[in-house]
């Protein structure tokens, strides 16, 4: 598995973990009721696209994968806050 595919799957895993674990631990939503199931097929399609792009331009694929991973960590998607924010709230570092 290439680095670009690993980064794409990691971005999807962070987003799914945020929806399932971090957001409910931070006090917003319920774990299974508020989960966005479209994350799973979107991650699969993104990983396949990164695998194809990796064969054409490995550096570009890794750059896009890294940008997606950092965005998944720091940006807010949907009704859940950013994973970094939710973890800070769950651990008691932020109100």
Q: For residue 29, how many other CB atoms are within 10 A of its CB?
A: 17
Determine the Cα–Cα distance for residues 71 and 55; give it in Å rounded to an integer: 24
16 class by beta-carbon count within 10 Å (0-12 exposed, 13-18 middle, 19+ buried): middle
Quote the pLDDT of residue 86: 87
Quote the pLDDT of residue 32: 75
| DSSP annotation of 28 | S
Share of the chain above pLDDT 70, in %: 100
- Between 87 and 28, the more confident residue is 87
pLDDT digits (tens, 9 = 90+) for 12-35: 999 998 888 888 877 777 777 778
Quote the pLDDT of residue 89: 87
Mean pLDDT computed over every residue of the chain: 90
Backbone phi and psi for residue 79, each to the nearest 5 degrees, phi listed first: -85, -15
Determine the Cα–Cα distance for residues 46 and 32; give it in Å rounded to an integer: 23
């Amino acid at each position: 598995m290439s680095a670009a595919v690993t980064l794409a799957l990691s971005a999807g895993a962070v987003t799914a973990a945020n929806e399932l674990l971090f957001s409910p631990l931070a006090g917003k939503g319920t774990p299974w009721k508020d989960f966005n199931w479209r994350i799973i097929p979107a991650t699969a399609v993104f990983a396949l696209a990164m695998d194809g792009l990796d064969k054409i331009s490995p550096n570009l694929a890794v750059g896009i994968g890294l940008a997606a991973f950092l965005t998944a960590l720091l940006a807010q998607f949907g009704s859940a806050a950013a994973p970094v924010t939710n973890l800070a709230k769950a651990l008691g570092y932020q109100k």
